[in-house]
Structure 1
Amino acid sequence: MKMSIAVVLSALSLGEKKLARYGHVATTTWLGRSALIKVAHILERIGLAMVGGAGGLYVAVGLMRMESELFRTEWMVLSMMLYGALGFYLGIDLPSRLAQTVKFTRPGEWSFDADAAAMASATGTFFASIAVFLFVGIIVLDHTVRDGFSVLVGCCWAIGTMLQIAAGAIGRSNVIVEDGSE
């Protein structure tokens, strides 16, 4: 038990650390906490992109049920999946430095950059998610809907994804302007 505690504590260290308190002297060098957070953030972004791609797939399958040949191609399905992945990758989680650069405002005041990015991200996530939810329900229940409704739901998803991408662009441009770096 003593050795396992020493290994865990040394793995979480920021550099070399002697763990004589537990009866062992272990000197190891591991990744620091900030590197682990960066890896976790990358994994989170990849997971969000996969969710966005899956959402794009469901929307594409819902649109494929229409009579139009435009939505029945593999390229359309692939492009909708990539568009969804890009939207969820860029838009849902705004850079953490954006929150650090936001200036405090009085109640009732509006900070354009931060508030616009947050509102666009939230609205885009809501619209894209509601469209995916509707199409999954339509597909699972094998319900037939009118083509106009399918187009409306597909446009809702496309606009929501576009708002997510815009939110990511607003948030990242604010960080670059305020901080001077990416």
Structure 2
Amino acid sequence: MRFRVRKAAHVFERVGLAVAGAACGLFVGAYVGSAFAVLTTQGFLLMMMVLGFVGFYLGIDTPQLPFDEAHSHIDAAELLSSAGTLCATFAAFASVAVIVLRLEPHSALTWLVLIGWIGGVAMQIVAGAKARMRK
């Protein structure tokens, strides 16, 4: 019984993080979509949300390597996951700031946010897949 409760709690935690990723994707999609008319579609918003959901589900809370002499090298999956999370959340934070404060930034910031989001989420997905494949 205790094992099932812990397993369920872990799944709830991961799904909660994934929903937070989807929300971040929604904000990035709303900001970037409003800046570029070509990207003002429901499909683009949905794609950004799905990328955020998958990235935050796989890329956060990855299985870590044990801390011993046999595993003394740098854990690439952990480094990729943390860098991806940082990039994706900075992109989401910038998007929310632009939307809430009603700013009109240069288009270079919009491209930077889009590239930061896609790059960050891609790093999370790759890190999560790599960490789970080494089991």
Give the TM-score normalised by the residue count of structure 1.
Answer: 0.70
Structure 2 matches for 1:75-154, cutoff 5 A?
75-95=43-63, 98-99=64-65, 102=66, 104-105=68-69, 109-111=72-74, 115-154=75-114
Number of equivalenced pairs = 135
1:149 alignment partner AA: L
Instruction: Give the aligned partner of residue 169 of structure 1.
Output: 129
**Separation of aligned partners in 1, 2:18 and 2:106:** 30
C-alpha deviation, 1:69, in angstroms: 2.6
Shift of 1:110: 1.3
Alpha-carbon distance in structure 2 between the residues aligned to 1:110 and 1:71: 42
Q: Report the Cα offset of residue 104 of structure 1.
A: 1.3
Give the drift of 1:103. Answer: 6.1
- For residue 33 of structure 2, the aligned residue among 64, 67, 75 is 64
**Secondary structure in 2 matching 1:58:** helix
Extract unaligned runs of 5+ from structure 2. none
* Counterpart position of 1:3: none
Runs of 4+ in 1 over 3 A off after TM superposition: none
> Which residue does 2:21 correspond to in 1?
52
- 1:35 corresponds to which letter in structure 2? R
* Alpha-carbon distance between aligned partners in 2 of 1:52 and 1:173, rounded to the nearest angstrom: 22
Q: Which has the higher helix share?
A: 2
Distance (Å, rounded) in 1 between the aligned partners of 2:47 and 2:95: 17
Distance in 2, matches of 1:130 and 1:103, equals: 30
SS of 1:42's equivalent in the other structure is helix
- Structure 1 residues 98-122: Cα deviation after superposition (integer angstroms, max 9, x where no partner): 44xx36128xx414xxx10110111
Closer, same or farther in 2 for the Cα pair 1:103/1:174, shift >3 Å? farther
Counterpart of 2:105, as a letter, is V
Match of 1:34 in 2: 3
Deviations along 1:99-151, one digit per CA (max 9) or x if unpaired, are 4xx36128xx414xxx1011011100100011111111111000001222101
Q: Return 5+ residue gaps in structure 1 as ranges.
A: 1-31, 176-182
1:160 alignment partner in structure 2: 120
- Cα distance in 2 for partners of 1:152, 1:131 equals 8
* AA partner of residue 134 (structure 1): A
Partner secondary structure for residue 65 of structure 1: helix
Give the aligned CA root-mean-square deviation in angstroms: 1.7
